[in-house]
Amino acid sequence: MDIIGIDLGTTNSVATVYTEDGLKHISFDGDFLLPSVVNVSNEGVIVGIKAKNMAMIAEENTAMSVKRLMGSSEKITLNGKDFTPEEVSSLIIKKIKETAEQEMGEEYKRCVITVPAYFNEKQREATTQAVKLAGLEVLRVINEPTAAAISYGVNRDEDMIYGVYDLGGGTFDISIIENSEGLIEVLSTTGDNHLGGDDFDEKLANLIWEKSGFDIELTRKLEIKLNQLAEKTKIILSNEESVHIDEKFFAKKDGEALHLEVDVSKEEFEELIEDDIERTIDLLLETLEESNSDIDDLEAIILTGG
C-alpha cells in the first residue's frame, strides 16, 4: 500500500503506515516523534532533532512552530532565502516520506494528513499545498479529533457522545464527537492556536531564568537553550515532585562561565499554567454548549496531544 498517514504537528510530527501486521509508526532517530524543526544552511536542509539542536547555534537559519503560520502570508527567512510556511512544512513532510521509504523499503505516493478541527479553508489549503510540494498526492484531509477517535479505538458500533481534548505543542482544540450507527460526526469544535506545550515551556523558562539570578542579556540563542531546558524539566515534572537543575557553563559574563543551579517544583509549574488549563476547561464548556450537550452526556474524554 502506497499510503502514509501524517500528523503534522506544531512541535512534533508523527507518521504511520499500514503493513501486513497492522499499523506501524515510522521511527526517526530511534523515536516515533519527529521535531517539526527545519534548518537550512549552505550544506543543505536538516529536519528533526538535529535541526532542533542547531537552533542554539544557528537560530537565524532555523524554523520552529511553523504550523501556527499556515495559511498566512508571512515569510520565513532561512539562510538568506525567503520561504512560505507551506514550503517549510513541505520539507518536514518530505523528510517523513523519505524516512518511511527507507525504513519500509516501499515508495509512498499518497497521503492522509490531519489538521486541527478549527482550521479554516485557507489553512487547510496551505496544508494540502505543503503535502503536494513534498511529492505526495493528498488522499484525504482529516480533522485531528476524528483521527484521534479512530486511533484510540473508540467502539464505533456503540452510539455515544465523547470529547477529544487535544493539547498539543503549539495549539489546543476541543471537540465534541458523536458515534451514531457506525459514523463519526464532529458536533462542535473550538480551540486556541496560541495555547500549547510551547507556551508552558516559555513560562517555565522565564521562572528558571528569574531563579538563576543572572545579570546578563537574554539573547535569542540563550533563550532557545533555556526553552529546551524548560521542556526537559517539564517532562521530568510529569513524574517527579521537583527537579534539581544543574547546568555547568550555561552562559558567560565578561568571559567567565556561569553555572545554572536551581530547583523547580511541580507545584510552582502548575501555578504557572493554571490560567491556561482553566482556559481549556472554559473552551470545553463552550463547546459542549454549542453541541447542545451537557457534561453528563459524555461517555468519555479522550486526552491527546503531546
The three cell numbers of residue 91 are 520539507
Q: What is the CATH number of domain 3-145?
A: 3.30.420.40
Angle between helices 121-133 and 85-104 (to 10 degrees): 50
Is 253 within 8 Å of 215 (Cβ atoms)? yes
Active-site position among 94, 95, 97, 166: 166
Per-residue confidence at 244, pLDDT binned at 50, 70, 90? very high
Other CB atoms closer than 10 Å to residue 18's CB: what's the count? 12
- State whether residue 102 is helix, strand or coil: helix
* CATH top-level class of 155-306: alpha beta
- 68 CB contacts (<8 Å, ≥6 apart)? 10, 170, 171, 193, 194
Active-site position among 86, 87, 144, 201: 144
pLDDT of residue 171: 84
Q: Is 75 a catalytic residue?
A: no
Q: Is 109 a catalytic residue?
A: no
Q: What is the mean pLDDT of the chain?
A: 93
**Residue carrying the nine cell digits 517544583:** 265
Q: 46-89: per-residue pLDDT in tens?
A: 999 999 999 888 889 999 999 999 999 999 999 999 999 999 99
Q: Is 166 a catalytic residue?
A: yes
- Domain boundary assignment for the chain: 3-145, 155-306
Q: What is the pTM of this model?
A: 0.87
Q: 262-296: per-residue pLDDT in tens?
A: 999 999 999 999 999 999 999 999 999 999 999 99
The three cell numbers of residue 195 are 495555547
Q: 17-51: per-residue pLDDT in tens?
A: 999 888 899 999 899 999 999 999 999 999 999 99
Q: Is 2 a catalytic residue?
A: no
